[in-house]
Amino acid sequence: MGIAERRYRQKEEIRGLILETAWRQIQEEGVNALSIRKVADAIEYSVPVIYTHFESKEALLMEFIQRGYRLLREQMQAARDRHHSPAEQLDAMALAYWDFAGQNHELYRLMFGLGIPNCTMARLIDDIGTFGDMVKGVIREAIETGKHPGASVDLKFQSYWSILHGIIFIRMFKVPCEKEPCEGGAAMAALVKPDIDQGLAILKDTVAGFIYALVGG
């Protein structure tokens, strides 16, 4: 192994350690508690070393957001590919979206902390645009083969995404603190099973209505 390759591997190992440590802090204490200095102290490196990999706390968080959108897109794409008709694909993708949020509570909160990403965020993270194009492709096919060929793909995409995102945030994420809002993965993403079960039923019912209006209404 040459010197250049060894240095590259060492750099990648440190970068991986930074990400692992930062994510553990987010899960244990919440996003607001994350700091470059705390990460540096935890891995026993100087703060300037962290900045050689990530120029700011926001850049570090952006790495997690990018990973999240990539994983979400892959899971929804896999769900889509298991079905043939647009109606079945939209239904399957909605359930995959729900499962992703349920399995990745803190990551989902980080990805959507300020609501559905706007155009500026989409330009910064390629996977947001790829995700949107994938869902729009299914919606476009549903419109073309349905009874409302003049419907707006963009409008229906925003409606579909709003259904998924809204129901998940209302029904899945709970703050159990009685006195004050609290941080940390366990607290911010505490799940109440009756709410989860009812939330999934609401999601299925609402998505079914959306699909019916799109292709069969």
Q: Which amino acid is at 25?
A: Q
CATH number of the domain to which 33 belongs: 1.10.10.60
Contact by Cβ (8 Å): 203, 164? yes
**Claim to verify: residue 103 and residue 205 sit in the same structural domain:** yes
Q: State whether 27 and 115 are in the same domain.
A: no
**Cα distance between residue 129 and residue 114, in whole Å:** 17
- 14 and 80 in a single domain? The answer is no
**pLDDT of 60-81, one tens digit each?**
998 999 899 999 999 999 999 9
Query: What does pTM read for this prediction?
Result: 0.81
The predicted-structure confidence for 126-185, as pLDDT tens digits, reads as follows: 777 788 899 999 999 999 988 888 899 999 999 999 999 999 988 776 544 444 444 444
pLDDT, the chain, mean = 84
Q: Between residues 99 and 186, which one has the greater pLDDT?
A: 99
- 1: domain range? 1-54
**CA distance readout (Å), 145 to 90, 135, 148, 204:** 14, 16, 8, 22
